Amino acid sequence: MRNFILGVIITLLLLFLGGLAIATLGFLPTTADSTPPKMERRLAMSAMDASMERHAPRVTSPVPPTDDNLIDGMKIYTMNCAGCHGNLDNKPSPFGGSFYPPVPQLIIHPMDDPEWHIYYAVRTGIRYTGMPAWNKTLTEQEMWKVTTFLTRIEKLPPAVQDYWKKSFAVAPPVASPDGEEHGHHQ
Ligand code: HEC
């Protein structure tokens, strides 16, 4: 039994030292302009979803989805988020693939997650990615307004759609009638 425990400890130590050597000798890549392997992506995605599921408070938005709030949310998105997540002209951001992991394009592939999930991602950011925490640069109201907008991209009221068309010369995306899912997890 003692030998077994010693064996486990030595194995763990070797694994740890091996990892340390790989890192300090420069074998880990720093490049952000490559595509994460499928396996890594799948693992990271499910870890992130599980973590949010565990940590994010199930809060209800204090901001009602009125036309004014949605238009405010659109403006906040355009000024702070479009550079990475894609503009309202329905073209992907050239920066989208320049991050590791790549930035989800939230206009072309709208999210179907609940508001508490999106609000938590916006407020606290996402560790080890390019997604910043916005709680120091946006107010509570602003974070909720952009969340309200992001959860309704495909079902905006007519006045807000008109505002979008006037401002960006393209029509906003609409949900397909067959109820097809538009996951952002490409
Ligand atoms: C500097 C680039 C950058 C900016 C600016 C940025 N984001 Fe992100 N965002 C990212 C990246 C990268 C991810 C992907 C993280 C991942 O792969 O899990 C992300 C992910 C997200 C997610 C998805 C979380 C999930 O559950 O999949 C949401 C929602 C989001 N951002 C909202 C916003 C909003 C709203 C703004 C503006 C207030 C914003 N982002 C600004 C880079 C950015």
Instruction: Look up tokens 């920066």; give the residue.
Output: 95
Q: How far is the CA of 44 from the centre of ligand 1 (A)?
A: 15
Q: What is the pLDDT of residue 161?
A: 96
The angle formed by the CA atoms of residues 58, 62 and 68, to the nearest 5 degrees, is 135
The angle formed by the CA atoms of residues 114, 120 and 126, to the nearest 5 degrees, is 115
Mean pLDDT, 10 residues at a time, over the chain (186 residues)? 93 97 95 94 95 97 98 98 95 92 96 96 96 98 98 96 94 74 47
What is the number of structural domains in the chain? 1
Q: What is the pLDDT of residue 57?
A: 97
Domain annotation covers residue 173: no
Which pTM was predicted?
A: 0.89
Residue numbers of the domain that contains 84: 65-168
Tokens of 23: 């890192």
Domain annotation covers residue 46: no
Please indicate whether residue 125, judged by its CB atom, sits closer than 6 Å to ligand 1: no
The CATH number that applies at residue 140 is: 1.10.760.10
Q: What is the pLDDT of residue 174?
A: 83
Tokens of 178: 């067959």
Q: How far apart are CA 78 and CA 89, in angstroms?
A: 10
Q: How far is the CA of 157 from the centre of ligand 1 (A)?
A: 25
Number of CB atoms found within 10 A of residue 127's CB: 9
Domain annotation covers residue 58: no
Q: How far apart are CA 30 and CA 50, in angstroms?
A: 26
Q: What is the pLDDT of residue 179?
A: 52
Q: What are the angstrom distances between the C-alpha of 119 and each of 10, 61, 62, 84?
A: 44, 9, 12, 17
Please indicate whether residue 124, judged by its CB atom, sits closer than 6 Å to ligand 1: no
Closest residue by CA, ligand 1 atom 34: 81
Q: What is the pLDDT of residue 186?
A: 42
Domain annotation covers residue 92: yes
Tokens of 110: 């709208």
Domain annotation covers residue 4: no
> Are the beta carbons of 155 and 83 closer than 8 angstroms?
no
Q: What is the pLDDT of residue 46?
A: 96
